[in-house]
Chain A
Amino acid sequence: MNNKIIEHYLSKLEQLEFKFKRHVQNNNEIHIELEDSSQLIEFCNILKLDMNLRLLTMIYCDERKINHAFSLRYLLGSDTDDVFLFVILFIDKKHAYFPSLSDVFPSSIKYEREINDMFGIQTQGDTTLKPLLLHDFQKNIFPLRKDFHANTELNYTPRKFKFTPITGDGICEIPVGPIHAGIIEPGHFRFSVIGENIVNMETRLGYAHKGIEKIAENMSINNVVFLSERISGDESVANSMAFCQAIEKISQLEIPEKAKQIRLLFAELERIYNHFGTLSGILNDIGFSYGASRLEILKEYVMQLNEKLSGSRLLFGVNQIGGVKIDISNTSLVDIHSMLDNIFQNFEKILEHIQSNSSVIDRLRNTGIIEKQTANDLGVVGLSSICTGIDTDTRKNHPYGYYSSINFEQTPRTYMEHQVKLQKRIGDVLSRFMSRVDELRYSKKLIKSISNLETGEINVPLESKLTPFSSGLGYAESHRGETLHWIMIGEDNSIFRYKIRTASFANWSIIEHAVLNNIVADFPVINKSFDFSYSGNDL
């Protein structure tokens, strides 16, 4: 099935007037190396227009040890077919810069800033990129280069960050953060307002930067599973699943069917408790604490269920390379089903109450609107994109694990597209609220679709030694959206490069557009309706 799609894409590529080397690996990855690298922008533009591909991430890698050059992989993906395109560019000493793709994919700017910070390589001609992750670090420190050691003691000198100046009559600036009023993660927001209306907002993140990608290079691959769970605490299953799947792909390890089922169960349980939490947060931010408290109770209830099953309220320690650690019996499966029934019965009651409350609906409707074109340009994924009608569900487009044996005909996203056509969903907070509700119902349906667990092992050992410098892409759909983990294996089963792109990283920039023309007091609810992870962005 998949071979046909790959062949279709390859034949399409052959028709183009470019010369390139190509090879296919890991079933759905096409790697392309252009002979003339100056044609890159043109090539990507054609891929975007003709094949409807979008930029997923840019992976920079210090391969001076193997190829005597830095490598840059543009990862492009399709929203309809299970195919990933890697366009590889080698950057050697002669020209220490790469072409900027920002004219083709505006979302590339964020990746270019990241590369500038972590590797010190700039885009061609542009020297005005703002720092993204490293704040007061000394100059000429590039943490992800191979000649930098993770434990280096550095000097830190305060450096001023230049926010875009917004001036004019009556324009005031409001700085917010990095420590916020609520119990949330650190980040800085700079509002420029006229009266109550926001005319510009600039985010400055990176406060939670912990050097995850670097320290993974010094850990054994079994320990990196624990690290990947802690990229963002509430996405622990999705992130560790993406990591494990990448390693399993590289080593061509087929995990038992039962392990796949258990992974799906935990991934969906994670989605359920997080969506309850976000819905409760949205209601809390508009002052409807009755509904918020009720949903908090449901969230707590799912977390207690998590703990009974796995020993951890946040589902830490569920995945391992080659399967799962936690076994679930058929009797507990029945318990899960009955508990979910109970929880959702109450949820529907609460929802009825919320939807009949005009003060809630009025506050949510037409607040924080994002446009489809903006979401498309910025490469937004997950729930934040689906509320405008862009379909980026990894579970459906790139089925992995047990999801590939599930029939995805009527997903909440197709339902949502229909609603978008009817102009009922316009990308506001209400449409994100309702799409979370649809997701919740769908997650429950997915869990209930597993009526019987397979028998047999729940994990298989990783025996073979991994080939040095082989790479693979692992992916999973977290409750925030598409999560990508790209891994290149080093010598002795170590990790040479671990590139993580969480949904949060791809999505953060949309918030600067969503708040425009809203009042400052609505910012918390707009922010919560997206529910991005700061830690997952900063790594």
Chain B
Amino acid sequence: MTENNQNKIKKSDILSWNKVTFDKILQSNDMIPENFRGKISLDPDKDFVLNSQIGQNLENICPTNAISYKNTLESISLDVGKCIFCGNCQQDMPKLIKISNNFDMAKKRKTHLLEVFPESVPFGKTYEEIGDELKNKINKTFGRSLAIREIDAGSCNGCEIEISALTNPIYDIEQFGMHFVASPRHADLLLVTGPASKNMEKALKIAYESTPEPKLVIAVGACACSGGIFGKNYATTGGIDSIVPVDVFIPGCPPRPQAILYGIMLALDKI
């Protein structure tokens, strides 16, 4: 660790007992170390040329098939929702794949999690975008307080650790008017983790149905977005959007507390 890093620790010295809570979690990037594997993107260097060997190689190296190479189009795509942030691909091809320590990865549409190189050009306003605008108006009905219910649909408990870290004195989610409630009947928002195991499918449906309208659902972590490393198999359904409608997808394995908060804010259109 460099001297610079040590200063950073002192800046947010939790153990001095004076002030513990961070008021501006989403801005205080200095508490995230440089080597945290956060935002992953296809950001090629100028001299980078994609060929089929590089493409195939990256496709093979990815444990969750998040990277796929299309031979005919000579294009490579990265599904951030499937990524478990192991860092294998960056080690293999640092010229194409960049991993930074940012955490603002949450997206409202599953298709927005997909990155393609070379990029295809989007056109016009889609049906979904018009629908999103309408939804924004609904979001205003929640006012300034938000009741959250966490549902574990078979996760490895990594996401639970990060979600419960949101309630600790350091992240202190209650400062934003959000609190965790004990029943889906009291909730405005469901935070769902896990690849939605078949055994939890029914319970998740019942919980969704008993949440009063208007409601939001956030898929937390790679498993909830796409099935993650478990994918879709005999015991999992491959992402919770196959069971309940999802408003925001938060990639990460697990997403750090700030990333979860960013996703919640995105769901509420407060960012």
Q: Determine how close the nearest CB of chain A comes to the CB of B50; give it in whole angstroms.
A: 24
B268 beta carbon closer than 8 Å to chain A? no
Tell me if A258 is interfacial: C-beta within 8 Å of chain B: no
**Contact present for A151 and B232 (CB under 8 Å):** yes
Query: Which listed residue (B159, B164, B170, B200) contacts A207, Cβ 8 A?
Result: B200
Binds B, one of A75-83, A100-108, A208-216, A451-459: A208-216
Q: Does B14 contact A (CB under 8 A)?
A: yes
Q: Which residue of A lies closest to B253 (CB)?
A: A316
Determine whether the beta carbon of B234 is less than 8 Å from that of A152.
yes
Closest to A346 in B: B15
A233 to B159, Cβ gap below 8 A? Answer: yes
Instruction: Scan A136-174; emit 1 where CB is below 8 A from any B CB, else 0.
Output: 110001010000101110101010000000000000000
Residues of A within 8 A of B256 (CB): 313
Q: Across the interface, do A300 and B157 meet the contact criterion of CB distance under 8 Å?
A: no
* Pairwise interchain contact A136-B63, C-beta atoms closer than 8 A: no
**Interface hits, B48-86 → A, CB 8 Å:** 63, 84-86
The reply to whether B36 and A311 contact each other, CB–CB distance below 8 Å, is yes
Chain A residues with CB under 8 Å of B153's CB are 186
**Contacting pair B230 A311 (CB below 8 A):** no
Is chain B's binding surface mostly helix, strand, loop or mixed?
loop
Instruction: Let me know if A312 and B234 touch, CB within 8 A.
Output: no
In the complex, what distance in Å separates the CA atom of A432 from the CA atom of B253?
31
Q: For B15, give its contact among A178, A186, A226, A342 (CB under 8 Å).
A: A342
The segment from B105-113, B131-139, B177-185 that touches chain A is B177-185
Contacts of B231 in A (CB 8 A): 215
Task: Kindly list chain B residues whose C-beta atoms are within 8 Å of the C-beta of A296.
Answer: 165, 168-170
Q: Are B234 and A151 in contact (CB under 8 A)?
A: yes
Do residues B203 and A233 form an inter-chain contact, with CB atoms below 8 A? Answer: no
A481 CA / B158 CA spacing, docked (Å): 19
Contacts A137-B198, A209-B199; is A314 near B170 (CB within 8 Å)?
Answer: no
Asked if B155 and A208 sit within 8 Å, CB to CB, the answer is yes
B37 on the A face (CB < 8 A): yes
Contacts A178-B200, A209-B197, A304-B31 hold; do A335 and B234 have CB atoms under 8 A apart? Answer: no
Measured CB to CB, the residues of A under 8 A from B are 134-137, 141, 143, 148, 150-152, 154, 156, 158, 178-179, 181-186, 206-212, 214-215, 219, 222-223, 226-227, 230-234, 236, 277, 293, 296-297, 299-301, 303-304, 307-308, 310-314, 316-317, 329, 331-332, 335, 339, 342-343, 346, 533-535, 538
By a beta-carbon cutoff of 8 Å, the part of chain B in contact with chain A is 1, 5-6, 9, 14-15, 17, 20, 31-33, 35-37, 63, 84-87, 150-165, 167-170, 180, 182-184, 194-195, 197-203, 207, 228-236, 253-254, 256
Given contacts A156-B201, A227-B229, A231-B156, 8 further A-B contacts (CB under 8 A): A183-B150, A186-B203, A209-B235, A227-B63, A293-B168, A293-B169, A297-B14, A311-B87
